[in-house]
Amino acid sequence: MRHSSSHTDPPISGSTSSGGPNDDGRGGGGGRGAGGSNGGDSFHNDHSDHHNRLPEDLQLALAYGSLSPEALTRYFNALENPFLKLLMSIPAYRTRALADSSFLFKLLAQEVIGNGTALASEIAVHAEHLMDELEYVASDLIVDTVVEAAFVWSLAPKLSLPASASSSAS
């Protein structure tokens, strides 16, 4: 008969491992990131092989328990898309996208609506001389694009990271 007290690794919070036939003796495989989340052991077991691929700031957030399972799932789902994988490599974008699942949608919607209406007004104002004043129209649209992105960026929530990791993700 096997006793759980003979286990050398401390049990993970919320773990109900009984030392069954598939027990490898590692205490549930949740690693450093499972601390404090009841019922999250299966989540951490499913993603334990991905833990080594996490950027340092997310590893620290996971270790401190400030990264939710939903945010981690969104991160791994984003890595499946090449464009989103590129965006997720930027720490400042990553903290906003993980804090708000619709951040990219909000950013793109603001750009499309803002620049669409700006272009429509430029066409209405410069209809007769649009081709002659194309550089002015283009410069206005470029400035509008930057301002609209900065507006959405500054108002978006950020993922709360541990102090040692947050300095690199501003």
Q: Each residue of 31-66: pLDDT tens digit?
A: 444 444 444 444 444 545 555 678 888 888 888 888
Distance CA 30, CA 62 (A): 11
DSSP H helices, 6-133, are: 41-46, 56-64, 69-78, 82-88, 91-99, 103-125
Q: Is the pLDDT of residue 6 over 70?
A: no
What share of residues in the chain are helix, strand, coil (percent, to 5)?
60, 0, 40
Question: What CA–CA distances, in Å, run from 50 to 21, 79, 99, 124, 161?
Answer: 24, 11, 20, 53, 19
- How far apart, in Å, do the first and last CA atoms of the chain sit? 54
Q: Is the pLDDT of residue 18 over 80?
A: no
Distance CA 47, CA 7 (A): 23
Distance CA 170, CA 168 (A): 6
The residue among 2, 49, 53 whose CA lies nearest residue 23 is 2
Q: Is the pLDDT of residue 128 over 80?
A: yes
Compute the mean pLDDT over every residue in the chain, rounded to the nearest whole number.
75
